[in-house]
Amino acid sequence: MRRALRMTLLLLVGAGLLRVALFTDLYLRYVKQGMRPLLIASGALLVLLAAAEAVSGARRREDDGHGDDEEQEHGHGHHASGTPRAAWLLLPPALSLLLWAPPALGAYTAARQPAQPVTRASDFDPLPATSPLPLTLSDFTRRVRQDDTQAIKGRVVRLTGFVTPGGRDGDWSLNRIIISCCAADARTVKVRVRSPHTPAADTWVTVTGTWRPGGTLGTASAPVALEARSVRKVAKPVNAYTDALLPAPSE
Amino acid sequence: MRVTGGTGTVVPVEGDPAASEEDEPGWPRYWPLLLLGAAVVPGGLLWVLHLGNRWMETPAMQAWRTVCLAVVVQALPFLLLGTLLSGAINAFVPARVFQRVLPRRPVYAVPVAGVAGVILPGCECASVPVANSLIKRGVTPAAAFTFLLSAPAINPVVLTATAVAFPGDPAMVLARLLASLGTASVMGWLWLWLGRPEWLRPVVRTSGHRTGRHRLREFRVGFQHDFLQAGGFLVVGAVAAATFNVTVPRSVLDTFSGTPWLSVGFLVVLAIVLAVCSEADAFVAASLSGFSPVARLAFMVVGPMVDLKLIALQAGTFGRAFAFRFSAATVVVAVLSSVLIGGVLL
């Protein structure tokens, strides 16, 4: 009996890991891309363990007709072979991975976090001449707040992220969530956007527009804000927890 | 003890013939009740599930579930590695190896164990089961705890990550190494001085390989047991971390970043609550650019040694009495050590 429980738990956890890492890209909702080989290896190992447990159980039963011989033998010591009670707690996450994987963090988390301070850049190259100019939200923030050459002034830029509505004057925020390790350390980069209408929360959009003047450009007083010319829905990227440029949308 | 529900596994019926004989003639007496139950229970269950489902799909609960699963998914491979290693130590490494490697006197064994932490390339989840297996094989607990604290903080993977996260700032890597090693050793000595064995859950001292038993099977069974146990406690820690993560918005905590002392305290609390894996916490620390270098150092020293999932793991492995005392003392020592070393180096 205990053996069956143990086997089931190992199998479910292993299968859950394999499902999110090997058969789908769901693991990218929780951890970084680099974890994939580790997750697949762990899943496979757990499934193998479950199989070994089954085989050894079957063999024991054949031997002497007592499947749980092992437990009786260890009844007093309760160490090496019993199923610890805490093991049950693995069941909900395993089932969740298998059947009911929660979505990636989005508007709810982004709205409750302050904008992530971007790292300081020491010097800025001249901006390429392309227009609209694709930029990451961090790069845009840096150009607005740190670049005293004011190269961003008047330039048409293109930013991509997801929407959190609300805030003052009907503005909304364009966000990207960045993780270093797993979704528990999520941080958000944000750009305020003003456009005629606000897209629904959590929609992924590409916004084309210009920096909205205010304060002194190139200092911390400048608002990280965009006057939108166009807002277009895009598909949510598979690997969403980065502030990377997405491939340009086909015109 | 016949568990068949839920998982859908068919479980062989064995033993206990008496119980099944009582069951059979017993049931007709209650059949109206059973019928009523059969009618009401599934409907009620569906209703509860429906309500629960609606509640679970609210944005806050979804975020909570995502963070919870993220911590579990991130930690599982390392936990598996740690339990594999500890299982291997139990089954294959003879006790005399440790006696030969570690100095006889515990006072000297502590720093040696601290430096030995370099060899375990993993994050903190891996080191708990390994430390436990060291104690089982007769290593003095003080040395095992020093290893437990130092291994996740000073191994090459973590130090490389720190160097990458703080480019052009080698002092940060050195400060992290020294402050972590210092904290780990002080905690080992502190255990020698003040530690009481009764705080520890009585250890089933395994003599390792027992003659007449299959080594590989011993390894598999021990490893499996440790993994299931530690995995359960990992889930407890993940739930706690996710709950803090979702209920306390970062913006509330960020108000502390102004004053230096509060900012150290704040980042220490953040390290405990976030439960970031030690291999990645340097990147988180680097991103907290509003904070002083000392505060960020404290974040990286405390993080691998004390956090919610670690406290849960330690409580499961060594017992609650130990986990809370040890973690509280570690936080104090770690903060002092980072302030001291950070003050000199950064």
All domains of chain A in start order, with CATH: 2-99 (no CATH), 107-233 (2.40.50.140)
CB contact under 8 A, A45 and B276: no
pLDDT at residue B289, rounded to an integer: 66
pLDDT block averages, 10 residues each, chain B of length 346 = 41 44 54 77 80 80 90 87 82 80 88 86 78 86 92 86 82 94 95 88 60 74 84 85 78 67 86 79 75 90 91 89 93 95 90
Chain B nearest C-alpha distance from A117 (Å): 7
pTM: 0.78
**Which ranges in chain B belong to alpha helices (H)?**
17-26, 31-56, 59-92, 95-101, 106-116, 124-136, 141-154, 156-165, 170-194, 215-247, 250-254, 260-274, 281-287, 293-302, 308-318, 320-345
**B192 inside domain:** yes
Instruction: Identify the residue with better confidence: A75 or A233.
Output: A233
* pLDDT surpassing 50 at residue A75: no
* pLDDT surpassing 50 at residue A204: yes
**Which ranges in A65-199 belong to alpha helices (H)?**
69-74, 91-99, 107-111, 137-145
Residues of B in contact with A9 (CB under 8 A): 228
Domain region containing B337: 62-200+230-345
- Residue A235: what are its φ and ψ, rounded to 5°? -75, 145
**B251 inside domain:** yes
For every residue of A173-210, DSSP letters joined together read EEEEEE-SSBGGG-EEEEEEEE-SSPPPTT-EEEEEEE
- Residue B73 to residues A8, A30, B108, B123, B305, Cα–Cα distance (Å): 18, 7, 38, 13, 20
**B326 inside domain:** yes
Selection from A160, A167, A159 nearest residue A198 by Cα: A167
CB contact under 8 A, A39 and B279: no
CB contact under 8 A, B236 and A86: yes
Sign, CA dihedral A52-A55-A58-A61, equals negative
Task: Return d(Cα A212, Cα A154) in angstroms, integer.
Answer: 9
Structure tokens at B6: 């839920």
By percentage, how much of chain A surpasses pLDDT 70? Answer: 89
pLDDT at residue A51, rounded to an integer: 92
ipTM: 0.87
**B6 inside domain:** no
Least confident of A73-77, A155-159, B322-326: A73-77
pLDDT at residue B207, rounded to an integer: 53
**B129 inside domain:** yes
Whether the CB-CB separation of B291 and B257 falls below 8 Å is answered with yes
CB contact under 8 A, A112 and B249: yes
pLDDT at residue A214, rounded to an integer: 85
**B17 inside domain:** no
Nearest to B66 among A1, A29, A90 (CB): A29
pLDDT at residue B221, rounded to an integer: 83
CB contact under 8 A, B3 and A96: no
pLDDT at residue A249, rounded to an integer: 54
Residues of A in contact with B63 (CB under 8 A): 105, 108-109
pLDDT at residue B250, rounded to an integer: 66
CB contact under 8 A, A181 and B65: no
Reported as a single tens digit per residue, the pLDDT across A104-145 is 999 998 888 888 777 777 788 888 888 889 999 999 999 998
Number of domains in chain B: 1
Nearest to A84 among B7, B228, B277 (CB): B228
**B177 inside domain:** yes
Least confident of A19-23, A226-230, B125-129: B125-129
pLDDT at residue B251, rounded to an integer: 64
**B114 inside domain:** yes
Instruction: Identify the residue with better confidence: B313 or A62.
Output: B313
Chain A nearest C-alpha distance from B190 (Å): 29
